[in-house]
Structure 1
Amino acid sequence: MATKKKRTPNTQNSSSSWVAITAESAIDTHKDGDPAFVKLRHPSTDAASLYLFSSGDVGLYEVKAFTEDCHSWFIGQAVQRDGRLLYITPMDPLYLMLPYLVKAATEGKFQPLDQVVMDEEFPACSRLLGCTRSLSSVRHIAEEKEVGSQKFHRYSQEKTLQWLNKKVDRIAAALRRTNISVGEGVKSTTYVRVKAESDASDEDYLRYAHGLVSEYISQDLSRALLKHLQLPELLSPKETEPPSKKRKLSELPVEAAEDFSKFNSSDFARKPPKKMTTAQKTLAKVDKSGMKTMSSFFSPKVKVKAERK
């Protein structure tokens, strides 16, 4: 008697494998250590988000995700049920340091950076000071004093607005150079028309670039930047936005609760059956033997062939 061959269970943990797109510089390893994913406070939302420090904390990278419903990945012989495509892009560490400097500015004094960039909830924020661009660029958002061999800093909104202004100008120039449509009706970063608009003004590009930068700064600073750019604030921006449409892909920061250390299988649990109403319960108790179904009254009649004599 033939026996049915049992399938060998797959011991590989698919939740530990992910699909990501990133530059080689983010994953290069050397003697200073390996790249590491860390939880840091998002500079705009103040929520926990996932970031990547390159080897030796030389560079900082933001982790975002393209998501689409009902998708998964085949990784080796395993199936990764989370079908997100992660993409890891370079990020200026000053954006993440800025909220700490703003908070410390209430004291009105110069302080060492290692006493400013501190967070009990996110202790890894101190690694921001190890990035190559951090110490050399902090002068763009803070005043600096040097006493002996030690440097002290204090937040400067004037310098910060000038720094952000340059960011907006560079982004606006890149948008124009690549013919990204930013005209009226395209005020949201979630909707970009493919066809370029030749009548887009400089204000359209600046306003769109301002919206992109505002995703990484506080609302108060975003309004101050808008005023610094001499752009009038839109009273009802929703009137100029296109009608909402379903997006197959989304660009969302990967929340720290969804990091690479665990997989939440409860998201895929089957939903419990809906409770029956009183009328449905009463109908279920009725004896239906001998009754015809409703569909039988509408089904076509079956032709009976006459028997040959």
Structure 2
Amino acid sequence: MKSGLMFVKLVNPCSGEGTIYLFDLCLQQLFEIKVFKEKHHSWFIDQSVQSGGLLHFATPMDPLFLLLHYLRKADKEGKFQPLDQVVLDDTFPNCILLLRLPDLEKLLQHVTEEKNPEVDKKKYYKYSKEKTIKWLGKKVQQTVSALKTNNVNVSARVQATAFFSGDPFSSDKEEDYVCYAHGLISDYIPKELSDDLAKYLKLPEPSVPLPSPPSKKVKVSDEPIEAKEDYTKFNRKDLKTEKLDLLTGHFVVAAQRQKRGK
């Protein structure tokens, strides 16, 4: 707090659950916290070795993603409301810090309809789905540009794992970039909004995964299985004894040879 930094728990715009964010009171900026963790990892700090490979990244985040959560929630009432009555949360009371961020009114123009009555000179806002989808579409295009600029490979074979820097002559298609960027943006919005954005971007429907093969332990049929060879000799009652002889046979043979030698 002395340096103006404050860790706060705010609502996650994708899951709706609580997530830790970093708020810079001096810069009036919001940061998301990402944790990089490896099982076996250490860091050199000055002249010492610090065990534990945790590395926390504080990345600037657009606060509009968090505000969307409250705007969409307030939209159920279907009326224009002042922002201080929209951004309220008993579970995460620190959400009011979002109202202190600069250029907030300019940001809200991307996702809301606005009214400014002359009576009280106070602005009222109402969530606009149409504006929001267009704004998210621009976010996707900005992400695509960033991926291309940094030569990030987003081919189909790595989309399900992690991206890595490839050469500038990658054969990735434009659709691959858009799909991948859509996936990144979807980490900051609820699934319903993510689906609407996919339709707006005219992305193909996700392929249906192939059914997994049945486990070998699963009984697939009550009918006897036909064998090409005769295995009936293993169905005798002394099967257990016979298996034991097979396992210990080399000891028996060794003992017989030793006896004959004597």
TM-score range, shorter chain: 0.7 to 0.9
Instruction: Provide the residue aligned with 1:157 in structure 2.
Output: 129
**What is the RMSD of the two structures over their aligned residues, measured on CA atoms?**
2.5
**d(CA) in 2 for partners of 1:124, 1:42:** 13
**Distance between the aligned counterparts of 2:122 and 2:11, measured in 1?**
27
Map 1:123-272 onto structure 2 (within 5 A).
Answer: 123-148=93-118, 149-188=121-160, 190-196=161-167, 198-236=170-208
Residue in structure 2 matched with residue 61 of structure 1 by the alignment: 31
Shift of 1:175: 1.0
Match of 2:21 among 35, 44, 51: 51
Residues 1:60 and 1:92: Cα distance change in structure 2 (over 3 Å): same
> Aligned to 1:232, what secondary structure does the other structure show?
coil
Percent identity of paired positions between Structure 1 and Structure 2 = 45
Contact 1:92 1:133 in 2 (8 A): no
SS at match of 1:69: coil
For residue 37 of structure 1, report the CA deviation from its aligned partner: 1.0
SS of equivalent to 2:116: strand
1:187 CA displacement: 2.2
Q: Deviations over 1:138-180 (max 9, x none)?
A: 1101111112320000000100001000000011011122221
Contact 2:42 2:53 in 1 (8 A): yes
Matched, 1:112 2:55: no
Q: Note the alpha carbon deviations across 1:53-87, whole angstroms, 9 max, x for none.
A: 11246111111110111445677899876531111
Q: How has the CA–CA distance of structure 1 residues 72 and 198 changed in structure 2, closer, same or farther, with 3 Å as cutoff?
A: closer
Contact 1:113 1:152 in 2 (8 A): yes
Partner of 1:84: 54
Which of these two proteins has the greater Rg computed from alpha carbons?
2
Q: Look up the equivalent residue of 2:88 and give its one-letter code.
A: M
Q: Indicate the residue corresponding to 1:121 in structure 2.
A: 91
Counterpart-to-counterpart distance in 1, 2:204 and 2:52: 43
Letter in 2 for 1:88: A
Unmatched runs of 5 consecutive residues or more in structure 1: 1-26, 240-309
- Displacement of 1:194 in angstroms is 3.8
Name the CA shift for 1:156/1:28 in 2 (closer, same or farther; >3 Å). farther
Structure 2, gaps ≥5 residues long: 211-262
